[in-house]
Structure 1
Amino acid sequence: MNRIILGIMAAGVVLGGVDRMFGSPKGYGKKFEEGFFFLGPTALSMAGMICLTPVLAQTLGKGIIPVFGLLGVDPAVFGGMLAIDMGGYQLACSLARDPLMGQYAGIVISAVFGCTVVFTVPVGMELVTAEDKPLFAEGIMIGLMVMPVSLLTGGLACGLPVLRILHQNLPILLFSLLLLIGLKKAPAIMIKGFTLFASGIQILITAGLVLAAVASLTGFTLLPGMTPLEDALSVVASIGIVMLGSLPMAELLTRILHRPLLWLGKKCGMNSMSIAGFLIGIVSAIPAITMLKHMDRRGKVVNAAFLVSAASMLAAHLGFTVSEAPDMLPALFLAKLSGAFVSIPAALFFTGKKKGTANKTEV
């Protein structure tokens, strides 16, 4: 499967590169260029955390390992509470007692739960309008409710038995339950909490980047044991190479599926912008979130639920997994796809007959 996926990405590189040679008349060349444009933001969001991970693992491990040990849970699961491309993978592998659990937590849990908590929710709550915040929160809650499907499917793809998957995910499931209750009972407090948490993560990442850059330039290391900045940036570069192909291929997929998805949207009571959000979301969560204001009521909820599992599947998360753990590609895809496909009918069910009548912008 790995060879097939990488072959598809290589075909996307050729598609985007050739189109760019002729001035990007088909638009694939522009997507090819975006693969490089992502390098800067990607480096800012993850390089500092990668550099700090060994220090964090050593420091946090003293408290986390005994606590998780009382529950019989591998400490790697704690790393899964960070996004896959924001230090979650490295932290999970550093804390892991079982290397397989480190891979599972760092790829599957981080790409679904960690990404949602550290990135999708705080960014989404900042970007959506005040009117749309309750709908976005409702969608996130639905996505978290069906998230165990992603965690279970991804774990089975890793070769883990069902009972072990459920046991090891106890902290994640408990934390998810608390998030559900908080988003339902005190959304304003939760929004503020998520925002502060995201700000704290950003400060930590920036501090790590500063310390690593100073160490690279002067040889002075304030925190011994940090990963060299050059090594962290090599991970970012690998992600950029994959996105050279994944973004043109995602554009091709969007065009091929446009008409069928429009038909499906009408059957499900959603406008075309809501359907387009699915195709955008599997590439990047941010543009999908900014599109919410143009979606109908049902589409806003369904898209938010969809992002919990599916966000960035064909871009940053794919690129990171290819770079760091290519053998985990099947687990990543199965986890994200299973959760995404379950979240859509679940969100449609919970929104019932309330089809939106406002903001029916078409594309």
Structure 2
Amino acid sequence: MEKIMLYIVGLFFIVGIIDYILGNKFKLGYGIENGIKSMGSLALSMVGILSITPIISDLLSKYVLSVFNKSLLDPSIISSSLIAVDMGGFKIAEAIGGSADIIYFSGILISSILGCTISFTIPLALGIIDEKHMDIFCNGILCGIITIPIGLFIGGILLKISLIEIVVSLLPIIIISILLIIGLYKIPSKMVIYFKRLAKGIFIIGLIGLGLQGLNSIVGISLVNNLLPLEEAITIVGKIAIFLAGSNVMLEVIKRFFSKQIITLERKLHINSDSVAALIGSLASAVIIFTDFDKLDNRGKVLCSAFSVSGAYVLGGQLAYVVAEAKEIALIYILVKLISGFLAILLALKVIKNDI
């Protein structure tokens, strides 16, 4: 099934390339161009952090693993809850995790949902959206966070992890989720500061890693011995950019082909066209939600924010990373993120009812 999905994206990539050769006659080549152009920004944010994941893993192995030796809880659960899958979450889980299934559960599923939400989506949104929209944004994010354990539980079942392991693994997720909910509800202004600091810290760590790679690559000076080879980091980024290009074309075709259904969706959800466009666009990246937040109506703001926690990036850069690193569970990854995302929308609809 995973191969079928890859063939589909590959087909759209070729379609986009052909259109690009023809001078963007059908405006599909822009998806290819934007995908390939993303390589620069991806490299800036990813190469450094990927480069030093072996060092982080060694530190965790040395100072943290001993705490979990007599525990049923896998140490990768904690790290994956805080770091996005493509920002080192999977690589760290791979280094310190136990069985392959648990590594996939934490390094792919948890890291792509909760880890991404904490380390990327929330800091991104807080840095973009206007202060006046903060309450609406938080309402949506809370709905998204609440449904995370349900989606992850389903993911654990699909990975054939034992019930006791799933329950134990979900306990810290539930605790972290509860703390996030309390924080966003009780002290939203302070949470803004905390998340911005976290995002800044991760970015600085990534830049340090990039600096170490640059020094090693340009002048041959190696200040640390355990950097991920530059070629490996660049290869990952390149694969993501190429996959993202194909995914861009696919999403554009979907939007055109299902235009009537999209209009129906507007009516069903009682949201404006910009909100629907942002919701669909978030399948590739949540950035579109928050850069266009002012254009969304209030219901759309809540629904899109809720969906962004789990559903965002499912067909974008994250999927590209998963395909590059663990394509055997790509389908499970998609199912879990979409299930959690749609549950978040349903909860948001239940919460807002006719209040917004």
- Distance in 2 (alpha carbons) for counterparts of 1:137 and 1:296: 15
> 1:201-212, aligned counterparts within 5 Å?
201-212=202-213
Query: Secondary structure at the residue paired with 2:177?
Result: helix
> 1:205-220, aligned counterparts within 5 Å?
205-220=206-221
How far is 1:56 from its partner?
Answer: 0.5
Partner of 1:136 in structure 2? Answer: 137
Partner of 1:77 in structure 2? Answer: 77
Partners of 2:149 and 2:173 within 8 A in 1 = no
Partners of 2:47 and 2:233 within 8 A in 1 = yes
1:310 matches 2:311? yes
TM-score (norm 1): 0.95
How far is 1:32 from its partner?
Answer: 1.0
How far is 1:250 from its partner?
Answer: 1.0
Which stretch of the first structure deviates more once superposed, 19-28 or 252-261? Answer: 252-261
Per-residue CA distance 1:126-180 (angstroms, 9 max, x = gap): 1011111111111111100011122112222222133321211222221111010
Closer, same or farther: CA 69–178 of 1 in aligned 2, 3 Å: farther
How far is 1:258 from its partner?
Answer: 2.8
Partner of 1:247 in structure 2? Answer: 248
> 1:297-336, aligned counterparts within 5 Å?
297-336=298-337
Partner of 1:361 in structure 2? Answer: none
- Distance in 2 (alpha carbons) for counterparts of 1:348 and 1:262: 18
Partner of 1:146 in structure 2? Answer: 147
> 1:270-309, aligned counterparts within 5 Å?
270-309=271-310
- Distance in 2 (alpha carbons) for counterparts of 1:41 and 1:19: 25
Partner of 1:158 in structure 2? Answer: 159
Amino acid at match of 1:7: Y
> 1:2-13, aligned counterparts within 5 Å?
2-13=2-13
Partners of 1:79 and 1:89 within 8 A in 2 = no
Query: Secondary structure at the residue paired with 1:25?
Result: coil
Amino acid at match of 1:9: V
Query: Secondary structure at the residue paired with 1:93?
Result: helix
Corresponding pairs, count:
355
- Distance in 2 (alpha carbons) for counterparts of 1:70 and 1:199: 34
Partner of 1:50 in structure 2? Answer: 50
> 1:75-224, aligned counterparts within 5 Å?
75-80=75-80, 81-224=82-225
Partners of 2:75 and 2:97 within 8 A in 1 = yes
Partners of 2:72 and 2:165 within 8 A in 1 = no
Query: Secondary structure at the residue paired with 2:147?
Result: helix
TM-score (norm 2): 0.96
How far is 1:71 from its partner?
Answer: 4.2
- What are the ranges of 5 or more consecutive residues in structure 1 without an aligned counterpart? 356-363
Partner of 1:235 in structure 2? Answer: 236
Which stretch of the first structure deviates more once superposed, 319-328 or 95-104? Answer: 95-104
How far is 1:70 from its partner?
Answer: 5.2
- Distance in 1 (alpha carbons) for counterparts of 2:55 and 2:42: 21
Per-residue CA distance 1:265-305 (angstroms, 9 max, x = gap): 22222111111111110111111211221111111011000
1:28 matches 2:28? yes
Query: Secondary structure at the residue paired with 2:135?
Result: helix
Per-residue CA distance 1:158-212 (angstroms, 9 max, x = gap): 2213332121122222111101000000000000000011000000000001101
Per-residue CA distance 1:69-89 (angstroms, 9 max, x = gap): 454211111231210110111
How far is 1:330 from its partner?
Answer: 1.5
Query: Secondary structure at the residue paired with 1:24?
Result: coil
Query: Secondary structure at the residue paired with 1:38?
Result: helix
Query: Secondary structure at the residue paired with 1:85?
Result: helix
Query: Secondary structure at the residue paired with 1:252?
Result: helix
- Distance in 2 (alpha carbons) for counterparts of 1:178 and 1:69: 26
Partner of 1:64 in structure 2? Answer: 64
- Distance in 1 (alpha carbons) for counterparts of 2:219 and 2:26: 47
Partner of 1:360 in structure 2? Answer: none
Partners of 1:298 and 1:354 within 8 A in 2 = no
- Distance in 2 (alpha carbons) for counterparts of 1:161 and 1:247: 37
Which stretch of the first structure deviates more once superposed, 122-131 or 56-65? Answer: 56-65
Partners of 1:12 and 1:245 within 8 A in 2 = yes
Amino acid at match of 1:50: L
RMSD value over aligned CA atoms? 1.3
Per-residue CA distance 1:196-241 (angstroms, 9 max, x = gap): 1100000000000110121122222112111121211111111122
Amino acid at match of 1:82: I
How far is 1:261 from its partner?
Answer: 2.4
Per-residue CA distance 1:247-266 (angstroms, 9 max, x = gap): 10011112223321222222
- Distance in 1 (alpha carbons) for counterparts of 2:337 and 2:310: 5
Q: Percent identity?
A: 32
How far is 1:99 from its partner?
Answer: 2.6
How far is 1:337 from its partner?
Answer: 1.0
- Distance in 2 (alpha carbons) for counterparts of 1:107 and 1:162: 19
- Distance in 1 (alpha carbons) for counterparts of 2:228 and 2:273: 45
- What are the ranges of 5 or more consecutive residues in structure 2 without an aligned counterpart? none
Partners of 1:31 and 1:244 within 8 A in 2 = yes
Closer, same or farther: CA 234–304 of 1 in aligned 2, 3 Å: same
Closer, same or farther: CA 224–141 of 1 in aligned 2, 3 Å: same
